[in-house]
Amino acid sequence: MKKFCYLLSILLIVGSCSALKNSYIPNGYDPGEEEVNIGYQKIKKKDSTAATAKLNVERGSGYTNIYEYLQGRVAGVEVVGTSIRIRGDHSINSSNEPLLIVDGMEVSDISDLSPEEVETIDVLKDAATTALYGSRGANGVILITTRHSNR
């Protein structure tokens, strides 16, 4: 009788775990099919070797500026006020700010950008960005795509 109860409890646990697993994964979802913007093109995340993070910004998030939205959402990205650091300080003499690109154009400030206008934020965090952007990308790159951009 003990063996029967033991087997029954194992079957119930396994069954509930598989049902739980299937309820959270949409049919046909493949995490490797997610596309990441690497600057000059979009590639599948599973094909990328760069350290990247992608945020899909939802409308009605309630945030007033993009700095508030970024705070605490990406590992290795520190936001203090209107200052962004990716993976710590890299330079003693020059700026430690990342390269900011909005809809393919380099900008110096994103404080006037509302999270309601932003569709996606891609953060490039490693040495591969230096290969793409040269010394400008040495401190990381933040690629912002707005909702009204021409694709």
Bridge partners of residue 123, in order along the sequence: 53, 142
- What is the rounded CA–CA span in Å between residue 87 and residue 76? 5
Query: How many of the other CB atoms lie within 10 Å of CB of 118?
Result: 24
- What is the rounded CA–CA span in Å between residue 110 and residue 64? 12
User: Which tens digits make up the pLDDT trace of 90-105?
Assistant: 666 667 788 999 998 9
Query: Tell me, what's the pLDDT at 28?
Result: 47
The residue with tokens 């705070």 is 71
Query: Mean pLDDT throughout 70-81?
Result: 87
- CATH class, domain 28-146, is mainly beta
* C-alpha distances out from residue 36 to 33, 47, 48, Å: 9, 10, 8
Query: Tell me, what's the pLDDT at 22?
Result: 45
Query: Mean pLDDT throughout 43-71?
Result: 77
Mean pLDDT of the chain: 75
pTM score > 0.75 for this model? no
User: Which tens digits make up the pLDDT trace of 111-136?
Assistant: 888 888 899 998 888 777 777 788 88
Query: Mean pLDDT throughout 46-69?
Result: 77
Lowest model confidence (mean pLDDT) among 32-36, 86-90, 110-114, 132-136: 32-36
Query: Tell me, what's the pLDDT at 92?
Result: 65
Residue-range domain boundaries for the chain: 28-146
- What is the rounded CA–CA span in Å between residue 55 and residue 121? 5
Lowest model confidence (mean pLDDT) among 24-38, 75-89, 105-119: 24-38
